[in-house]
Chains A and B, each alone.
Chain A
Amino acid sequence: MLGRRRSAGRDCDAGRQCDPAISLEAVVVEHDGLQALEDVTFAVPSGTLMGVVGPNGAGKSTLFDAIAGVHPIASGQVTLSGAGRRREALAYVPQRDSINWRFPATALDVVMMGLIRRIPWYRRPGRQHRDVARSCLERVRLWDRRGALMTELSSGQRQRVFIARALAQDARILLLDEAFSGVDVAAQEGIVRVLQSLRDEGRIVLLATHDLTNLAQRFDQVLCINRHVCACGPPAEAFTPDVLEELYGSHGVEFAEESGLSTRRRS
């Protein structure tokens, strides 16, 4: 595949630094006067595939909004370094319900959206833009489905189209919100493989999910949040029984023990 052959960072444009990094320090985010995130501190180095785990309402989407700069933070600091301007460097793979599925867009239309900041308003997309879109769709193995409407694609294919859009934008940081909801295990595998190849190029991928299955082996790091950071680190270290209980109650601990996620019990 196109991207696999590249080694980390070699595809960087001249003048753009190659190693993105995210760091949050004591970030507080308020939603309608209530604290949605309290004192969130963590850092993500370049070339990291990080799972963001927490129950519904834990603030995963809010955290992404804060990193993306579309939700104001009440205090603290969000720093994106080495990635150029935030608008170009960061891409968002949306949740399924934030998309307007009434709008008849083809896979190729969606990938072309990723080029919006590179084409001036008075120009039509040219050949070089189509070539970029093509290589991005080929990379997620969907070029032959370019003419399909998004509603005609499976959930997993849709997610791959959105990842291709992020690639067209040449994002160094990808935020995927609930990318696995409604996606079957085989298709999850395909998405993870693409994400791993992005990580190998030095990009940062954050993927929010409330689904613990399949998570441990796939991600370099996990961030467990429930309004505050419960744990952050490699999955084997982060998923302690205490953390799982904090996230999901006793049910989470049982589940983790059954699936072999966690065996250490501190008490």
Chain B
Amino acid sequence: MIDHIVGPFQYSFMVRALIVSVLVGVMCPVLGAYVITRGRAFMGDALAHSVLPAMVAAFLLGISPFVAAVPAGIAIALLMGSVARRTGISEDTSIGILFAGLFALGLVMLSKATNVTVDIEDLLLGQVLAVSRTDVLASLVLTAVVLAGLYAFHRQLVYTTFDPVGALVAGIRTGLVEYVLLGLLALVIVIGIQAAGIVLVMAMLITPAATGYLLARRFVGVMMIGAVIGAVSAVSGLYLSFHADLPSGPAMALVATAFFGVAATGSRRWRAATREGVEVAA
């Protein structure tokens, strides 16, 4: 048993994978708390899919695709933010158009890239066992940037999420705050893609945060519980991936979904119980 848990870490790739898994597990739900309370899940999914062409291009040029995804993710996040504001088309439609178009472009590039072997499954489903030293360093830097951004903008983000009109009247630059959030979201998605892949990074972004939402009372609690559940899901997924030879994205997503299922069945009872408590007290 002990050997199953500790044994894998004789391989340095496994140590790198563990670091990235924890970062993904913690950071995705912290941002995900905003994503779910703002109803931005589709935006998150779209952002993840839209960085595919940049990642493929990086592969072809011999650069780390995750490092290349950083500027691409930020550019696409800003583009999506402004397209959604300016066109007369509804926001989810314009995001959907960009998302599908860019993802299609990435797939076309992949199918034409004959001289380089790109493992498409690793890109789409995540292969945390394959992360390089550069990827680990990049993830640590991105995590620091995102945490600093969340700290600096915490009160503005909270105000604009809860009461966008009141925030505007109070002099908060709500447009800027929205772009900051999208930028941070792009960075977190780039960290997440390494472990969960383009297709399933959304599961790490929203599922643990939603579990936290069921269990916690206040917003910061949603982030905290989400981060713990996210980290446990990611590390469990890593073990599943190592021992059962699975792609890491689906393994992590399944564990996270199982946590959500347990919380959802348990929490209805919990909520009903507290509601009765409140009524008795009142």
Interface on A for B, CB 8 Å cutoff?
A: 68-70, 86-88, 90-95, 98-100, 102-106, 109-110, 113-114, 116-117, 119, 121-122, 149, 152, 162, 165, 169, 175
Tell me which of A86, A94, A106 contacts B166 (CB under 8 A): A94
Q: Which of B117-152 contact A (CB under 8 A)?
A: 152
- B269 contacts the other chain (Cβ, under 8 Å)? no
Closest to B154 in A: A121
Across the interface, A116 reaches (CB within 8 A) one of B38, B156, B164, B219, namely B156
Whether B222 pairs with A104 at a CB distance below 8 angstroms is yes
Does B270 sit within 8 A of A, measured CB to CB? no
B168 surroundings in chain A (CB, below 8 A): 68, 70
Q: Which residues of B contact A88 (CB under 8 A)?
A: 171
Is B37 interfacial (CB-CB < 8 Å)? yes
- How far is the CB of A160 from the nearest CB of chain B, in Å? 15
Interface residues on B, range: 20 to 34
Give the shortest distance, in Å, between A93 (CB) and chain B (any CB). 8
- Tell me the smallest distance from the CB of B82 to a CB of chain A, in Å: 19
Indicate if the CB atoms of B39 and A116 lie closer than 8 Å. no
**Is A104 within 8 A of B158, CB to CB?**
no
Asked if residues A113 and B169 are in contact (CB atoms below 8 Å), the reply is no
Contact indicator B218/A117 (Cβ below 8 Å): no
Contact pick for A103, options B37, B156, B278, CB 8 Å:
B37
Name the CB-closest residue of B to A92. Answer: B169
| Nearest residue, chain A, Cβ from B36 | A102
B170 touches A99 (CB 8 A): no
B164 touches A98 (CB 8 A): yes
Q: Counting CB contacts under 8 A, is B217 at the interface?
A: yes
Cα A102 to Cα B217 in complex, Å, equals 12
Does B9 touch A at the CB level, under 8 Å? Answer: no
B159 CB–A CB distance under 8 Å: yes
The verdict on B257 contacting chain A, using a C-beta distance below 8 Å, is no
Q: A109 with B218: in contact, given A102-B39, A117-B171, A122-B152 (CB under 8 Å)?
A: yes
CA distance A181 to B159 in the complex (A): 23
Given A87-B170, A91-B170, A122-B152, A99 contacting B163 (CB threshold 8 A): yes
Q: A68-B169, A100-B162, A103-B162 are in contact. Are A116 and B218 (CB under 8 A)?
A: no
Whether B165 pairs with A119 at a CB distance below 8 angstroms is no
Shortest A140–chain B CB gap in Å is 16
The answer to whether B38 and A100 have CB atoms under 8 Å apart is yes
* Of the residues A92, A98, A104, A116, contact of B155 by C-beta under 8 Å: A116
Chain B residues, CB < 8 A from A94: 163, 165-166
**How far, in whole Å, are A93 and B153 apart by their CA atoms in the complex?**
23
Nearest CB in chain A: distance from B169 CB, A: 4
Task: Report the Cα distance A114→B159, complex, angstroms.
Answer: 9
* B246 CB–A CB distance under 8 Å: no
For B38, what are the chain A residues with a Cβ–Cβ distance below 8 Å? 100
Top 5 A-B pairs ranked by shortest CB distance?
A: A87-B171, A92-B169, A103-B162, A98-B165, A68-B169
The answer to whether the Cβ of B161 comes within 8 Å of any Cβ in the partner chain is: yes
Tell me if B172 counts as interface (CB < 8 A to partner A): yes
Do A92 and B219 touch (CB < 8 A)? Answer: no
Contact B159 A116 (CB under 8 A): yes
> In the bound complex, how far is the Cα of B159 from the Cα of A117, in angstroms?
12
**Cβ 8 A contact of B163, one of A90, A100, A102, A175:** A100
CA distance A119 to B219 in the complex (A): 20
Residue of B nearest to A150 (CB): B162
Expressed in whole angstroms, the minimum distance between the Cβ of A79 and any Cβ of chain B is 17
Interchain nearest-CB distance for B108 vs A (Å): 38
Contact in complex: A90, B169 (CB < 8 Å): yes
Shortest distance between the CB of A106 and any CB in chain B (Å):
6
Contact in complex: B278, A116 (CB < 8 Å) = no
Q: Which of B165, B166, B169, B172 has the most CB of A within 10 A?
A: B169
- Which residues does chain A contribute within 8 Å of B155, judged by CB atoms? 113, 116, 119, 121
Task: Write out the residue numbers on chain B whose beta carbons fall within 8 Å of the beta carbon of A70.
Answer: 165, 168-169
Q: Which residue of B lies closest to A88 (CB)?
A: B171
- As a 0/1 sequence over residues 55 to 74 of chain B, the CB contacts with chain A under 8 angstroms (1 = contact) are 00000000000000000000
Query: Contacts A116-B156, A121-B152 given: A105-B162 contact, CB under 8 Å?
Result: yes
- Bound-state CA distance A91–B278 (Å) is 32
Q: Other than A87-B170, A87-B171, A98-B163, give 18 A-B pairs with Cβ distance below 8 A.
A: A88-B171, A92-B169, A94-B165, A95-B165, A99-B162, A100-B38, A100-B163, A100-B164, A102-B36, A103-B162, A103-B219, A105-B218, A113-B158, A113-B170, A114-B170, A117-B170, A121-B152, A169-B170
Encode contact with A along B212-229: 1 for CB under 8 Å, 0 otherwise: 010011110010000000
Min CB distance B36 to A, Å, is 8
